Chains A and B, each alone.
Chain A
Amino acid sequence: MLDVKGLAKAAGGGGKEEIKIQRQITLPWSEAVRISVRNVTIRLGRTMITASGIVLGIAFLSSVWTSSVIQDGLQRAQLQQERELVEATARGQGESENANIENFTGISEEEQQAESSKRVWLVVMSLLVCGVGITNAMLMSVTERFREIGTMKCLGALDSFIVRLFLIEAVALGILGSVVGTILGHIAMLGIFSLRERSLSVAAKMDWGQMLVYLLLCILVGTVLSLVSAIAPAVRAARMRPAAALQTEI
C-alpha cells in the first residue's frame, strides 16, 4: 500500500527538479476559496464578532456620507424653495428688487468650507477607527488559530497557502461586514433625518445617484481595509516555524 520510493535526491536537485517539486505542492484557488468560505460560515458566531468591528467602522463612514448627501439634498430643496419664493415676490413687486435675490441664497462660502473640512475629518477618523478595529479583530482570529496553522504546515502547506487562506477569509469578512455596515449606517441616518424633519420627504430630496456611489465606496473601503489589515498578521502567522506554532496554547 505504501510506496517506498525515495526522495528524488532533493538536496542535490538542479533547476528542473526544483520546478517539479514546486508543482507537487499545490493549493488550487477553488479549494482555497472553499476552505476559507467554510471557515467563515462554520464559525458564524466568531465571524460575527470579528465582522462587527468592520460593521461599526463602515456604519460610521456610511452614516457620515449619507448625512452629507441628505443635507445637500435638503439644502438644495430649501434653496429652490427660497428662490421660488423670491421669484414669486419679485414678480409681485416688480423688477426693482431683483438685485436682492443673491442675498437670500442660503449658506455663505466660508461656512460651506468649514462644513466640508469637518466632514473630511470625520471620514478620516472613522476610517482610522475602522482600520484599527479590523486589524485587532484579524490579529485575534489569526492568533487563536496558531495551532491550526502549525498543523497545516506539518501537512505540507507552504507559507503562501496560509496567507492565501487568511486573505480570502479577510475579503469575505470585509464584504460581509461592510455591506451590513453600509446598510445599517445608511438606514440609521435616513431614520434620524426623517424624524428631525418630521417627514419622509428626506429620501425624495436627496441625490440617489451620488448616494449609490458613496455606498459602493463604503463597501470597497471596508473590503480593502479588511484585506490590508489582515496581511500583516497572516504573514506573521505563516512564517512561524511549525514547532513554535504548535506549541502555542490559548
Chain B
Amino acid sequence: MAKITCPKCGEQIETDGTITVCPKCGVDLREVIGSLDVDYEERMKTIARDESVTTHEFIVRTRGLKKTYVMGEIEVPALRDIDLDVRRGEYLSIMGPSGSGKSTLFNMIGGLDKPTAGRCFIEEVDMAQLDAFELAWLRCRKIGYIFQTFNLIPVMTAIENVTLPMIFAGMGTDEMMERGRELLDLVGLGDRLDHKPYELSGGQQQRVAVARALANSPAIVLADEPTGNLDLHTGKEIIDLLKELNRASGVTVISATHDLKMIDVSDRVVHIRDGEIERIEQRHEIELEVGGMGA
C-alpha cells in the first residue's frame, strides 16, 4: 500500500495499484502511481495470475463485440467492433440516440444475449465460456438489472420482488426478509413493503427495482434507460440514488441512457452512434460545473 496525492484535487488516496482513478474527481492516477515505483504493468500481471485476488482494475471488458440482427433476409448490424473497458467502481453512461445500439450493448454486457462475434469479460471471465448454470449464477449474484419499464413482477409485493433474487441465491427466509426491508428502507420505501407495483408510482416502482438490483450485493448495476419512463424530477431522484449507491458502496454502475441529466454524475460517458463508439469523455473533460460535484 502506498499513499499518493491526487494532482488535481489534492485528495490523499491509499492505493495498492489497483485504484487508478481518483475517487473524488476521477483523474487518471496511473502516472502518479508509476512515479511511486509501483510498476503498474507488473502489478496487474501478478494480480491476474493470482486467482484469489479478483479485484482487477477492469470489471467489464469487451473486445471486438459485434451483434447483427437478421430480419428476414436483411442483416442489420446493431454493434460493430466495440472495445470498451469499464473500471471497478466507475459510474459509466452509454449515450446515444435510439437505435444506436446502446441497449444491445447493455444486453451483451449483462449476459442477456449472445454476441455475433467478439468477447465480453466480466471480472476477466469470458461470458461465452459460461454454461447455463454459471450464467444464471452470474446474473443472480454479480449483476443487478434496472429497466426502463421497471419490470417488477406484477403479482408480487415490493418486498417479495426484492427478495426474489435472494430466493434464487438460496438465502434463508428470515435473513432474506430483513435484507429486503433494509434495502427498501435504503431507497426510501420502508413504509411500502406490502404494496403491489400497481399501487406504486413510477418513481417508487423504479426504486423497488433499484432495491431488487442490489438484492445479492452485485458488483455491477446495469441500468437500461432507468429514467426513460419517469418525469424530470423523479428521474433526477433515481439518478441521484444510483450515484449515491455508487459512491457509498463502490458498486459499478453502467447505464444506457439518452438522459442528459445522467452526464452530471457520470465518471465517463461513452457516446455510441450506429453501433460504434464515437468518443469517450472523462468527467473532467465535460464542460459542466464539475467543481460542485465532489462535495
Contacts and interface: CB of A to CB of B under 8 A. Distances in A.
Nearest to B152: A151
Interface string B102-135: 0000010010111000000011011001111110
Contact of B138 (A10, A18, A22, A151): A10
B140 A156 contact: yes
A39 B139 contact: no
B36 interface: no
B54 A151 contact: no
Contacts of A21: 133-134, 137
A156 B141 contact: yes
Interface stretch (A124-132, A157-165, A207-215, A219-227): A157-165
B145 A2 contact: no
B169 A147 contact: no
A28 B134 CA distance: 18
Given A6-B123, A156-B141, A25 B54 contact: no
A204 interface: no
Chain A contact residues (Cβ within 8 angstroms of B): what range? Answer: 35 or more
Interface stretch (A58-66, A87-95, A228-236, A238-246): A238-246
Contacts of A24: 137, 140-141, 169-170
A5 B212 CA distance: 19
Contacts of A9: 51, 54, 125
Chain B contact residues (Cβ within 8 angstroms of A): what range? Answer: 35 or more
B91 interface: no
Chain B's interface: helix, strand, loop or mixed, by majority?
loop
Interface string B244-265: 0000111100000000000000
Given A153-B139, A158-B133, A242 B113 contact: yes
Contact of A2 (B133, B153, B217): B217
B76 to A, nearest CB: 14
Contacts of A153: 112, 136, 139
A114 interface: no
A155 interface: yes
A107 interface: no
Contacts of B134: 10, 13, 18, 21
Contacts of B167: 26-28, 31
A197 interface: no
Q: Interface centre among B55, B155, B169, B249, by most A CB within 10 Å?
A: B155
A93 to B, nearest CB: 77
Contacts of B131: 18
Q: Interface centre among A21, A23, A31, by most B CB within 10 Å?
A: A21
Interface of A: 1-11, 13, 18, 21-28, 31, 38-39, 42-43, 147-148, 150-159, 161, 241-244, 246
10 contacts: A5-B54, A6-B219, A18-B131, A25-B140, A25-B168, A31-B167, A154-B139, A157-B168, A159-B132, A243-B107
Q: Which 3 A-B pairs have the closest CB atoms?
A: A6-B54, A156-B140, A243-B113
